[in-house]
A and B are shown apart, each in its own frame.
Chain A
């Protein structure tokens, strides 16, 4: 099972690779990902599949997620990852 640090690193790696423009120094765990247009809604599916693969768990019900879940790296960990099964 991956540690919290490994999961955070995985989340950051995906965002940095997918966005291609933001630097590791600019991407903080409370950086606004949606307002800052760092990730888009059309990328959310790919991100969820990546997180499922990384954690070995699944999102039980997409309807329990809100767009705000993806607002920061911290919120993704706390509201998505910790609630996966």
Chain B
């Protein structure tokens, strides 16, 4: 049996296990949370160490009340970014249902992913609308371009892996933070629980699509894919630094604050740490060059 055939068979077995887990561990996300009438913006709503301005000179100049207000708008932004990313994922997965491509073969589990991502969008959106009166809008745009055979399908799932891995790293820190409101921790906890299954699927299909298509790509295409995925991770972090959230927290110069957050060495070190999971996966799958960490 070829490596690709063996990979397809392994993925099919993984999909069977994931589908069974989704069915057995089904959560009614419409009813499982207790939603307090309001949140105290004088308390932390996001782990301060995760706030995009934490540790920067601008942060040092904020009083405690402003820092906590910022933590509120940053959790709203994090949930908004996640919701908008899941909308993109669901749009793409809808096209794969019953399609004659690699993902279409796995339609059984894609139904579960779409179902669970819809529930995630529902509770992220409910939190944002209930406590902030808005979801921060998505301002990303995709430009049309030509793709090598299989490249577009590969990049769709590889981008999802990067996005979900970063989001999951943040979810884990928030769900374990006892300083935060119970509803914030539980939302992050349920998201982490279900995203663990999605990540298992998205990683394996990304690996499969790389194994199928990359051998036929030119060196230029491979280099372009690698550069794109590194820049994509950077773009996700840039979305996490939202001038509108800064302004809502009372920081008038939102764009300047964003540039300061992105340039700060301490924040860069945090991003490097939270990027580690997807980078190590890409190295292991041969998508990135490098040696896996011990």
Residues of chain A touching chain B, judged by Cβ–Cβ distance below 8 Å, are 34, 40-42, 44-46, 48-50, 52-53, 59, 61-62, 65, 67, 69-70
Contacts and interface: CB of A to CB of B under 8 A. Distances in A.
A52 B232 CA distance: 22
Interface string B84-97: 00000000000000
A66 to B, nearest CB: 8
A52 B243 CA distance: 10
Given A42-B231, A62-B138, A49 B143 contact: no
28 contacts: A40-B231, A41-B140, A41-B141, A41-B143, A41-B145, A42-B231, A42-B232, A42-B235, A44-B139, A45-B139, A45-B235, A46-B238, A48-B139, A49-B139, A49-B243, A49-B255, A50-B255, A52-B243, A53-B243, A53-B254, A59-B139, A62-B137, A62-B138, A62-B139, A62-B140, A62-B141, A67-B142, A67-B144
B182 interface: no
Contacts, number: 51
Contact of B255 (A34, A53, A62, A69): A53
Contacts of B142: 41, 67
Question: Chain B at the A interface: mostly helix, strand, loop or mixed?
Answer: helix
Contacts of B239: 45
Nearest to A68: B144
B139 to A, nearest CB: 5
A67 B231 CA distance: 19
B116 to A, nearest CB: 25
- Bin chain B's interface residue count: 20 to 34
Nearest to A66: B141
B143 A70 contact: yes
Contacts of A67: 141-144
Contacts of B228: 42
B258 interface: yes
Contacts of A42: 228, 231-232, 234-235
Given A42-B235, A49-B255, A52-B243, 10 more contacts: A34-B143, A42-B232, A44-B140, A45-B139, A45-B141, A48-B139, A48-B141, A50-B255, A53-B255, A59-B139
